[in-house]
Amino acid sequence: MSMTEKLAYIKKLRRLTTQQISRQSGVPVGTLNKIFSGQTRHPAVEQMDRIAQVLRVPIHYLLDDELPLEAHLSVFSEDGLMLLSEEEVRLLMKYRGLESSGRRALDALAELLSEPPARLAGNVPVKRTFCYLTSALEGAQAHQSPFLMRPVLIPETCAAVREADFAVLLSDGSMEPLYPSGTVLLCRRDSTPRQGCGLFLLNREALVRRLQCRRGVTKLVALNVAFKDIVVRADDRLECIGVITGSAKGCRWE
């Protein structure tokens, strides 16, 4: 990827104007315009170093056309230089913001998911993932993390299992008759469930419901008519964790 493409990408990513980069780097706007447009094919290393510092990227990322566009950060490890994508950088920043207990939990989860799963029976391939426990989520206190989970092995009997990002254990009859209580539901990470069923956090309470938005009113609706609709008010905190794509069969807890 060329230097001009990377400069345009990082400039947009950092939400900086040419004038802002000029003020922070000391490189004149006219010179920057020629560099960003590719008119200057071999810019001075000192100028590129200043630009790289403002854009918060290694200078070799800009100068090496063999490096991909998304790999805009590098770190040194035991295996040498590693290039990180934008998504990896976001995950790293989230990790750094966790408390020590959260980091330990995430470390254990990453180690678990990196191991090859054992087969449940015969030659059926198995997916190892984690399952949210909704009953535990509902009982979480305000100071506790609501994301309590348990590792689970799921036979890969269909495409829905292979595409699932995680699972959730349904602890009530709110989704009957489609999904009885105790069903392990397959979930795809998505914050926009539209009219589909999803796993929601409403003021730290975990709910598997269908999101309904009509006439300016937002509700979480159960499939079981015995459960009342929950109206989401303006001061409520609603977050969609994932969309339900089906149910898992033959699971085994680890």
Parse the chain into domains and list their residue ranges.
3-84, 98-253
| Listed range (33-42, 61-70, 111-120, 142-151) with the worst mean pLDDT | 142-151
Which band of pLDDT confidence, cut at 50, 70 and 90, is reported for residue 60? confident
pLDDT, one tens digit per residue, over 138-166 is 444 444 444 577 888 898 888 889 889 99
- Six token digits for residue 220: 């979480």
List b or e across 158-193, with b for residues whose CB sees 16 or more CB atoms inside 10 angstroms.
eeebeebebbbbbbbbbbbeebeeebbbbbbebeeb
Give percent of the chain with pLDDT exceeding 70: 82
pLDDT score, position 232: 93
pLDDT, one tens digit per residue, over 76-97 is 556 555 666 667 777 877 888 8
Strand partners, 207: 200
Q: What is the mean pLDDT of residues 21-35?
A: 93
Helix, strand, coil shares, percent, the chain, to 5: 30, 30, 40
pLDDT, one tens digit per residue, over 163-209 is 899 999 998 899 999 999 999 999 998 876 666 789 998 887 888 99
Strands 217-221, 73-77: pairing kind: unpaired
Determine the topology of domain 3-84 in CATH: 434 Repressor (Amino-terminal Domain) (1.10.260)
- Six token digits for residue 109: 């989860």
pLDDT tops 80 at residue 67: no
Please tell me the class of the 98-253 domain.
Answer: mainly beta
User: What's phi and psi for 100, nearest 5 deg?
Assistant: -60, -40
Q: What is the mean pLDDT of residues 105-117?
A: 72
What does pLDDT average to over the chain? 82
pLDDT score, position 126: 85
pLDDT tops 50 at residue 253: yes
Q: Which residues contact 6 (CB under 8 A, 6 or more apart)?
A: 57, 61, 62, 69, 72
Which band of pLDDT confidence, cut at 50, 70 and 90, is reported for residue 102? confident
Q: How many other C-beta atoms can be found within 10 angstroms of the C-beta atom of residue 244?
A: 25
Q: Which residues contact 149 (CB under 8 A, 6 or more apart)?
A: 109, 130, 131, 132, 133, 166
Q: Give residue 35's identity as a one-letter amino acid code.
A: I
pLDDT score, position 138: 47
pLDDT score, position 157: 84
How many angstroms separate the Cα of 54 from the Cα of each of 14, 16, 99, 188, 201? 9, 9, 30, 37, 38
- 8 A C-beta contact, residue 11 and residue 36: yes
Which band of pLDDT confidence, cut at 50, 70 and 90, is reported for residue 136? very low
- Six token digits for residue 84: 């990180």
Q: 199: which DSSP letter?
A: E
Q: For residue 86, give the nearest of 37, 13, 156 by alpha carbon.
A: 13
pLDDT tops 70 at residue 122: no
pLDDT score, position 68: 73
